[in-house]
């Protein structure tokens, strides 16, 4: 039997928490069967860091560039322009596979108007460059899903979707993908999402360096080596084999990000 191949569609490998340990993290991930990951960005600095990682680790680290709603408060116009210019300049780079992480977050309502402005600009850039969008929608999923048809987007990935379950039907109908990670193992809410999303619309993620404080991840550094456990949880929920889930998730990754080298 061929060894299973795993993918992490959403991690922040250019985050300062991974500084100095990227090689170690990737070696551990490869030993677990990981064949590709998408490193998401938050601001100009992490976009530049992600770009460097794709050069150092070609064929396994792919890039998503964008402005996260968390960073909007301190965002200067020139930084927004520089991120947009970097994305446009790198459009021909095969390592750039999406815009992300972009979106809206209800936790930062005091800067809501600026969030919407930045999100709109990022979505228009995704539309213009025909790049998939990786979207953060904590507490804003309904608003985000209502906004998206206003843009001609190539593909949409709703990262760490948790609620409402009622929005899943519309999302799947439009062809959106949904990523879930380690909470699939212990969260009834996330397990319900996985149960209701067709396997052909699912992807696996870790969202590292976010730490998961429940077992079996308590106290551990978040790395893509967690993905096999996520795949096993998907298989348990879907009542199919781990091999079948891993194969479909790999195919989904290739289809969504237009990446074929992981074969």
Mean pLDDT across the stretch 50-67?
97
- Residue 190 in this model has a pLDDT that exceeds 70: yes
Mean pLDDT across the stretch 47-68?
97
Q: In the prediction, which pLDDT does 77 show? A: 83
Mean pLDDT across the stretch 215-233?
94
Cα dihedral 107→112→116→117 (10° resolution): -130
Taking CB atoms within 8 Å and a gap of at least 24, the contacts of 70-78 are 70/42, 70/105, 70/108, 71/42, 71/43, 72/108, 72/111, 72/114, 72/115, 72/118, 73/108, 73/111, 73/114, 75/43, 75/114, 75/118
- Residue 262 in this model has a pLDDT that exceeds 70: no
| Block residue for tokens 């609620």 | 163
Distances (CA, A) of 138 to 104, 128, 195: 7, 25, 20
| Two structure tokens written together for 240 | 């199919």
Q: For residue range 157-174, what is the model confidence (pLDDT) as tens digits? A: 999 999 899 999 999 999
- Residue 218 in this model has a pLDDT that exceeds 70: yes
- Cβ atoms within 10 Å of 24's Cβ, excluding its own: 12
- Residue 1 in this model has a pLDDT that exceeds 60: no
Q: In the prediction, which pLDDT does 95 show? A: 97
- Residue 20 in this model has a pLDDT that exceeds 70: yes
Nearest CA-CA partner of 237 in 201, 162, 185, 159: 185
Q: How confident is the model at residue 3 (pLDDT cuts 50, 70, 90)?
A: confident
- Residue 263 in this model has a pLDDT that exceeds 60: no
Domains assigned to the chain: 6-257 (3.20.20.140)
Q: In the prediction, which pLDDT does 163 show? A: 87
Residue 250 CB contacts under 8 Å (≥ 6 apart), including other chains: 5, 6, 7, 35, 262
Q: For residue range 75-98, what is the model confidence (pLDDT) as tens digits? A: 888 999 999 999 999 999 999 999
Q: For residue range 111-123, what is the model confidence (pLDDT) as tens digits? A: 999 999 999 999 9
- HSE-CB of 73 using CA atoms within 13 angstroms: 7
Q: Helices in the chain by DSSP H: which ranges?
A: 22-31, 44-56, 77-89, 112-129, 141-147, 168-173, 188-196, 227-238, 242-257
Residue 41 CB contacts under 8 Å (≥ 6 apart), including other chains: 12, 14, 47, 49, 50, 63, 64, 65, 66, 68, 100, 101
């Amino acid at each position: 039997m061929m060894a299973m191949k795993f993918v992490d569609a959403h991690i922040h490998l250019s985050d300062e928490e991974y500084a100095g340990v990227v090689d170690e993290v990737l070696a551990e991930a490869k030993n677990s069967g990981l064949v590709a990951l998408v490193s998401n960005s938050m601001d100009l600095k992490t976009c530049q860091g992600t770009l460097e990682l794709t050069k150092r680790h070609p064929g396994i680290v792919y890039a998503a560039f964008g402005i996260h709603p968390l960073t909007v408060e301190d965002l200067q116009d020139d930084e927004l322009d520089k991120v947009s210019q970097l994305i446009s300049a790198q459009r021909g780079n095969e390592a750039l596979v999406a815009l992300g992480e972009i979106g809206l977050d209800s936790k930062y309502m005091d800067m809501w108007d600026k969030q919407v402005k930045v999100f709109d600009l990022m979505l228009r850039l995704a539309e213009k460059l025909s790049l998939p969008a990786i979207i953060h929608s904590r507490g804003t999923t309904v608003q985000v899903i209502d906004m998206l048809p206003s843009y001609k987007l190539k593909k949409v990935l709703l990262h760490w979707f948790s609620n409402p379950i009622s929005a899943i039907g519309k999302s799947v109908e439009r062809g959106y993908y949904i990523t879930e990670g380690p909470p699939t193992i212990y969260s009834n809410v996330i397990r319900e999402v996985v149960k209701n999303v067709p396997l052909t619309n699912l992807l696996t993620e870790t969202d590292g360096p976010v730490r998961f404080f429940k077992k079996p991840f308590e106290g551990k550094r978040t790395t893509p080596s967690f993905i096999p456990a996520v795949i096993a949880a998907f298989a348990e929920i879907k009542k199919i084999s781990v091999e079948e889930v891993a194969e479909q998730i790999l195919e989904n990754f290739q289809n969504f990000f237009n990446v074929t080298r992981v074969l």
